[in-house]
Structure 1
Amino acid sequence: MKYFRDLRLVSNNTHALKALKSISSKTKPMCAIAIAVLGLSACGKSPDGNANNSGLNLNLSKTSVSGLSSGGYMATQLQLSHSETIVGAGIIGAGPYYCALGDIAIALGQCVNKASHSIENSPFIAQYETYVKEGLVAKPSSVSDDRVLLIHGKLDDTVNRTAADLLAQQYRMWLPESQFRYVNDQDFGHHMPTVNEGSDCAVSEAPYLGNCNYDGAGEILQHIYGKLNPPVEVKDNAALKHIDLGELTDLSGTSISDEAFIFVPQTCADGQTCSLHLSFHGCNQSSEFVQSAYAENAGFNRWAQSNSIVVLYPQIKKSMMMPLNPQGCWDWWGYTGENYANKQGPQIRAMFEVIQALSSTND
């Protein structure tokens, strides 16, 4: 089972992934997690005859999300849909909830590099309130105790400042002032700002990590969780694994790849109670475009290692056919269906089921 223990082996071994599917199809989901993530060589009966469903011991009340660009839109959608579980979000380079109004033409016309002179929050808020009444997103009382950090760089010409400001306005409606922070005064391009990884801070280019002398991941996690232990360097990202999400939930119709990255600190692998953070890549930033660059170098793993936080990096598959998604973006305009931004959305449903499966200790 050594192929399931090390990202460097699994990432270049399609036979290993096929073997994982073969194994996990005959085992319970928690056994699949134990094999794929924890590197266990067996999953069955323990010496005392009890079922050995070794898995992650996660405190769901400390689940958080983050995302860049389309991943930022997704982070907002998942947080608002399931804020009874998700305690906070970090959003980089994204616009308001429901900005696209379910239409790709509107998305391109007002939510990315172009700014419509008429863009305003009223139709977006109206749809959100309709979803609240229909029970398709979390109750506002559940959202109101979350903590959110929004980052939008002054040099971001991919998502316009008007759109980012409208998202800030939304969160100021939903959260007390002390729980929301808007960083909009830094010379960042459209990328995840890091301490020393990626391209020049002013440039927006693959792998969309900015060498900005700014710890975006640390700012996000400490805003959500409060003061944390200092980050530590992660040698060779040995704790970064592959996991097959298709064994945890039905991914049909979602465009979510079976294969995801997951960072599991040794304390969490050893059974300590840990928090869970999901980080969503942006367009052109999935493993099909940048391999494991985002998962390895966005900066979250350094903090996760010293603070017992499991970090999941799900991936979107690009598509040149219907649903057309050539850049591998998360759905924030409706390519998976009209409910893309609420609990019934295929991607939101799947990711919430993955959260539940990862945290379950019994099948």
Structure 2
Amino acid sequence: MPVAADLSPRLARCAALLCLVTAALADDGRGLKRGGDPNQVSISGLSSGAAMAVQYAVAHSASVTAVGAVAGPQWGCAGGSVSRAINDCMCGRAALTPTINTARQLAARGAIDKLTLGRPQSLRRAWVFQSPADETVSSRSGEADATFLTAFIGTAPEVDRGNAVDGSDRAGHGIIAPGGSDTCAFDGTETSYVRHCGAEDNAGKMFHTLFGEGSAYNPSDRAGDVPEAELWSFDQKRFIEQAKARGVSVADDYYNPFWFWWPASSARRQNFDMAEKGYIYVPPSCRAVGSACRVHVALHGCKQDARVFASKAGYNNWAERYKVIVVYPAIVPGDPVAGTVCRSPAVDPSLDAAWAEPNPNGCWDWWGYLDTSSQQGRYLTKEAPQMQVLRAIITAVTTSQTN
């Protein structure tokens, strides 16, 4: 009896703790149906995610209000060529030509949202971060992206080049967050591409530019680190299947040795290189029915684990401040190519003629690796496979919670 009496409180405490843990790990069961404000949709990303973010914002400029790009290349720079994407857009080995006319031509023929008097109907704000020391995407390309956004939107984006106080002006390739695990400067040991440069906070400064509405940026508005259990997964595969059901075709991504090295598609390619699940963070004030919060889509970069990006890149710590739901779609990780691409010899243009279009680093499609030879340039339009999936995800998040 004394033993049972002694165990009883302990069992009660354990049961209570188990309930708390279970509650923390479980989402609220609503999936993506969040009733987000369809008139307050924005998008951003890192590296290839930045390229895709700008591509999406340009293609859907009548419904996207703001865009952010961290260490991303110039819009439309690759022109469907992987050698140009690497040699020029990333490594700055040749001068870049303006691409604004391409965007205007696509708008004129309806491949992307039409422009009104030469300007987007909704897209008004942009923010760009580009470290001068980035060896993966040259500052030349980042600056060209800012120039493109100025011409397309009609107002210049806020451009952040880091600062000498915390060393972010010498940061290596990646997104900078106070909780970053990689060193600020490039040292060859990068694993997460979420870098720590003192108090520098890319997500915080981005959100302030996109949503701050004239207020002063205040680093103390950043909430404490959001527990990873508050990051919920969602079924991304169903949106992929919906696009596939519409008959979307894609380029092959490997050679089958059993058929004399004939090009073939992996299961990964058949799913547009996209993962079966993505992630979402819904701040507490946005969980009630009728909250109608902003919606922001954040896209990870090449060689990044989507969940690590979603939990560590810093977006979640600002979501409550700006009343914004943050959605993290995902690409399937590849088998990354070792080394730093811009320290390697230039890519031979003959690679552009290959029938198979691999994506070993798990990048978003910013150079047209999903496009067959008869679909050149589709990757920049609303018909691009990954664009279609992103659009479906946004539609789901902005669907009324009572429907």
Superposition TM-score tier, normalisation by shorter sequence = 0.7 to 0.9
Alpha-carbon displacement from aligned partner over 1:118-170 (angstroms, at most 9, x marks no partner): 4221xx23322221111112224226751001110021010112211211211
1:286 and 1:328 in contact (8 A); partners too:
no
Structure-to-structure mapping, 1:157-176, within 5 angstroms? 157-176=135-154
1:187 and 1:201 in contact (8 A); partners too:
yes
Report what 2:311 is aligned to: 296
Aligned-partner residue type, residue 299 of structure 1:
G
1:210 Cα shift?
Answer: 1.1
Aligned-partner residue type, residue 100 of structure 2:
I
Other structure's SS at 2:380 match: coil
- Normalised by the length of structure 1, the TM-score is 0.79
Aligned-partner residue type, residue 188 of structure 1:
A
Aligned-partner residue type, residue 316 of structure 2:
N
Mapped partners of 1:154, 1:165: distance in 2: 10
1:322 Cα shift?
Answer: 5.3
1:349 Cα shift?
Answer: 1.3
Instruction: Give the stretch that moved more between structures: 316-325 or 331-340.
Output: 316-325
Q: 1:69 to 1:208 in 2, by over 3 A?
A: same
Mapped partners of 1:259, 1:198: distance in 2: 24
Report what 1:215 is aligned to: 201
Structure-to-structure mapping, 1:42-57, within 5 angstroms? 55-57=33-35
Name which of 167, 177, 181 aligns with 1:194. 177
Alpha-carbon displacement from aligned partner over 1:12-57 (angstroms, at most 9, x marks no partner): xxxxxxxxxxxxxxxxxxxxxxxx95236xxxxxxxxxxxx99312
Aligned-partner residue type, residue 270 of structure 1:
A
Structure-to-structure mapping, 1:1-363, within 5 angstroms? 37-39=27-29, 55-113=33-91, 115-121=92-98, 124-138=99-113, 139=115, 140-142=118-120, 145-177=123-155, 180-185=157-162, 186-203=169-186, 205-212=190-197, 213-226=199-212, 227=215, 230-248=221-239, 250=242, 252=244, 253=270, 254-271=272-289, 272-287=291-306, 292-318=307-333, 323-337=357-371, 338=376, 339-361=378-400
Mapped partners of 2:332, 2:383: distance in 1: 20
Mapped partners of 1:164, 1:219: distance in 2: 17
Q: 1:308 to 1:244 in 2, by over 3 A?
A: same
1:88 Cα shift?
Answer: 0.7
Mapped partners of 1:331, 1:274: distance in 2: 29
1:194 Cα shift?
Answer: 1.2
Mapped partners of 1:304, 1:357: distance in 2: 19
RMSD value, Cα: 2.7
1:311 Cα shift?
Answer: 0.6
Residue ranges of structure 1 left out of the alignment (5+ in a row): 10-35, 41-52
Q: 1:155 to 1:56 in 2, by over 3 A?
A: same
Mapped partners of 2:40, 2:28: distance in 1: 21
1:7 Cα shift?
Answer: 11
1:7 and 1:241 in contact (8 A); partners too:
no
- Normalised by the length of structure 2, the TM-score is 0.72
Aligned-partner residue type, residue 331 of structure 1:
D
Other structure's SS at 1:242 match: strand
1:190 Cα shift?
Answer: 0.6
Alpha-carbon displacement from aligned partner over 1:167-192 (angstroms, at most 9, x marks no partner): 12112212344x51111252221110
How many residue pairs end up in the alignment? 314
Larger Rg: 2
Q: 1:208 to 1:144 in 2, by over 3 A?
A: same
Aligned-partner residue type, residue 343 of structure 1:
K
1:307 Cα shift?
Answer: 3.0
Mapped partners of 1:242, 1:7: distance in 2: 15
1:350 Cα shift?
Answer: 1.2
Mapped partners of 2:79, 2:366: distance in 1: 9
